Structure 1
């Protein structure tokens, strides 16, 4: 089902938003200082091309530790991203979601566009993995939080 969903998504509009992500990524790479944002654009652009069966999660949840993108610098990077590119990509995904939702049959696609719009607002510190890995990472993260709480008592 994922293959069919991804194929239909790609040919019925996913390619447009994926290319939009990659366009912002190219602009970011050209500026040199935007390379970290450009990298995130290409990861999320690939996700935008084929979103079914995948999920964007925080690298903190996946690796159980902070890195440069999940800490303070990542937060500041997301603020800059939001101002210069995030709003525009989110608007593109919201517009696409409205168009898909109008067709009734496109409601699953509209839901994917809404998820991508949320990611477009703050992609720094996130990575894309399969839904199964995301569920396992979240369970592992929850267990580590429970263990930390128990050890504090």
Structure 2
């Protein structure tokens, strides 16, 4: 089921959202000081291409530098990308078949706003969620 949803997602929304992240990543790589933002952007682009079966968790040990970087990210790129996810999620939820895809789009909003200090993991990876 994940594969089917991922393929439908890729065709309807994933490709365009990943393209937006890739563009943001390329711009970040051109401005050499923002390379960490570019790396985060490319990581999220891969997540935006194939979101079903993956989730975002906080990375232990992310400190003040991640928090400061997230503030800079929100100002320059994060809110544009979050708006893209919001509008595509609303459009996808207009049909019954698109509701799971719209939820996936909404799931990407927090990581598009605050990408630093986060990790994208498989939902089957129990070790990523901390001790039980």
Return the alpha-carbon distance in structure 2 between the equivalents of residues 139 and 32 of structure 1.
34
Count of residue pairs brought into register by the alignment: 132
How many Å apart are 1:139 and its aligned residue?
Answer: 4.1
1:120 paired to 2:104? no
From the two aligned structures, give the one with the greater helix fraction. Answer: 1
Return the alpha-carbon distance in structure 2 between the equivalents of residues 101 and 115 of structure 1.
13
How many Å apart are 1:136 and its aligned residue?
Answer: 3.2
| TM alignment of 1:78-89, pairs within 5 A | 78-89=70-81
Contact in 1 for aligned 2:58/2:118 (Cα 8 Å): yes
Return the alpha-carbon distance in structure 2 between the equivalents of residues 22 and 127 of structure 1.
18
In the other structure, the counterpart of 2:19 is 19
1:132 paired to 2:124? yes
Contact in 1 for aligned 2:73/2:114 (Cα 8 Å): yes
Return the alpha-carbon distance in structure 2 between the equivalents of residues 139 and 17 of structure 1.
30
Moved more, 76-85 or 112-121: 112-121
The SS at the match of 1:123 is coil
Contact in 1 for aligned 2:26/2:38 (Cα 8 Å): yes
Extract unaligned runs of 5+ from structure 1. Answer: 61-65, 144-153
Return the alpha-carbon distance in structure 2 between the equivalents of residues 136 and 10 of structure 1.
28
In the other structure, the counterpart of 2:90 is 98
Return the alpha-carbon distance in structure 2 between the equivalents of residues 81 and 48 of structure 1.
17
Return the alpha-carbon distance in structure 1 between the equivalents of residues 13 and 79 of structure 2.
19
Extract unaligned runs of 5+ from structure 2. Answer: none
Question: Following TM superposition, where does structure 1 have runs of at least 4 consecutive aligned residues deviating by more than 6 angstroms?
Answer: none
Using the size of structure 2 for normalisation, the TM-score is 0.96
| TM alignment of 1:32-111, pairs within 5 A | 32-60=32-60, 66=61, 70-111=62-103
